[in-house]
């Protein structure tokens, strides 16, 4: 989820071309409303969102279903944010502009650590 439409579109194209089913959201509230209907296997979450911050969403995800991998992305890397995100359970912390190869390998690694995925193998 990212508040920048151009980033959402680019990520969506990349992930769909790589075989992933993708749902995009412009805000934390929009994402949380969608979770009531359909849960995701992983979320790519921008820290700086209108309304609820990425950290707010991350804490909410931890309370509701801690095993969902969360990859934090940000264009405004600030001191301590990476450590905070990882301490709060993020699978990874990436800065924009995103390297496509790193994002895809990070996503594959995050999904491989999903307990349901591990049971299937």
Q: Helix (H, G, I), strand (E, B), or coil: what is residue 93? A: strand
Give the homologous superfamily in CATH for domain 5-111: Response regulator (3.40.50.2300)
pLDDT per residue over 56-76, tens digit each? 988 888 887 657 889 999 999
Provide the pLDDT for residue 120: 34
pLDDT reading at 17 higher than 90: yes
Q: Please state, for a pLDDT cut of 70, what percent of the chain lies above it.
A: 90
**Eight-state DSSP code of residue 79:** T
Cβ-based neighbours of 27, under 8 Å, separated by 6 or more: 1, 3, 49, 50, 51, 52
Provide the pLDDT for residue 113: 65
pLDDT per residue over 73-93, tens digit each? 999 999 999 999 999 889 999
Q: Tell me the CA distances in angstroms from 75 to 18, 19, 61, 94, 97, one per residue in order.
A: 23, 25, 22, 9, 7
Domain positions in the chain are 5-111
């Amino acid at each position: 989820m990212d508040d920048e439409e151009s980033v959402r579109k680019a990520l969506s194209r990349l992930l769909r071309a790589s075989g992933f089913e993708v749902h995009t959201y412009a805000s934390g509230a929009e994402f949380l409303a969608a979770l009531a209907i359909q849960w995701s296997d992983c979320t790519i979450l921008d820290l700086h969102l209108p309304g609820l911050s990425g950290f707010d969403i991350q804490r909410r995800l931890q309370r509701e279903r801690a095993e969902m991998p969360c990859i934090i992305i940000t264009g405004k890397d600030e001191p301590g944010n990476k450590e905070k995100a990882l301490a709060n359970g993020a699978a990874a912390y990436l800065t924009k502009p995103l390297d496509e190869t790193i994002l895809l390998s990070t996503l594959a690694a995050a999904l491989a650590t999903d307990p349901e995925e591990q049971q299937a193998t």
